[in-house]
Amino acid sequence: MADTKKYNQQKVTTYCAGRHAISEVSVVLEKPLTLFLNQQELTTMICSPGAYEELCVGFLISEGIVQERSDISSISCQEEEGLVWIVTSKPIPQVNNFLRRQLTSCCGKSRTGLYFINDSSQLEAVQSDTVFSAEQLLGFIRELENKSDTFQRTGGVHEAGLADHSGLLYMYEDIGRHNAVDKVFGKAFLEEINMTDKCLILSGRIASEILIKALRNKVSFILSRSAPTKLTIELAEEFNITLVGFARGDRFNIYSHPERVMM
């Protein structure tokens, strides 16, 4: 993973306890990234610099456009210009539904009820007998926090990582939580990593769209410092995903399938 700078220094006026002063702080960068699929402009995303190929591949997985590594025949990237071209090994008939859609940094595609029903109805429950101990899960969260350099400097990004029984495998920081997750899954897809025994680790809220992304990638564990929504919990129960939230210090809540957590 390339070490791409995600922040710059900015002069600000700082106020504290009745006094103010001029100081320098770190502020996050954001860049537009345009994805071309089979020579057609698919979408423009606003994201943190770096890991553009992973982000675009993760986005295609999350949208159900690609399912297997062999679906992608080539990837090229002009990092400075913020352009990525992906060519698939076969035509993608549904691509016209996504053309030239603008995405913000904070959320995924807007949905009607029909979009959401289609997403969940096309997926199958995860089959996995992987078990993590309580100590391992808390260790994953600590490791994610300790390696979150950009967040510690700026407070302006989300983190997502992937772990197995050996610990945190890798992580990404991005101004968009969906982007950070897509980068994690994009890297795993490109490297053909088996996901059924892995844990997705998050810094932020576990929304239903994040769970759908995990489900598409056959992840059986989601762990976060923050909380899930009610719909996310219902989907996790239905699709056999263990959902652990509010993991802080020496505690956490298990919202679904606690049998996979050894306590």
Indicate if the alpha-carbon torsion angle 226, 229, 234, 239 is positive or negative.
Answer: negative
Q: How do residues 101-157 score in pLDDT, each as one tens digit?
A: 444 444 444 433 334 544 555 788 998 989 999 999 999 999 999 999 999 999 999
Question: Who's near 140: CB < 8 A, 6+ residues apart?
Answer: 161, 163, 167, 168, 199, 201, 223
Q: pLDDT exceeding 70 applies to what percent of the chain? A: 87
Q: Give residue 119's pLDDT.
A: 54
For the chain, where are the alpha helices, taking DSSP H only? 52-62, 113-121, 134-146, 149-154, 177-190, 208-216, 230-238
pLDDT at residue 15, rounded to an integer: 94
41 Rama class: left (phi>0) / alpha (psi -120 to 50) / beta: beta
Residue 154 CB coordination number (10 Å): 19
Architecture field, domain 132-262: 3-Layer(aba) Sandwich (3.40)
Could you read off the pLDDT of 233-246 as tens digits, one per residue?
Answer: 999 999 999 999 99
pTM of the model: 0.89
Sorting pLDDT into bands at 50, 70 and 90, what band is 173? very high
Catalytic residue among 47, 106, 107, 199: 107
Check residue 112 and give its pLDDT.
35
* pLDDT class of 100 with cuts at 50, 70, 90: very low
199 is catalytic: no
Q: Which CATH number fits domain 31-120: 3.10.20.10, 2.40.10.500, 2.40.50.100, 3.30.1490.20?
A: 3.10.20.10
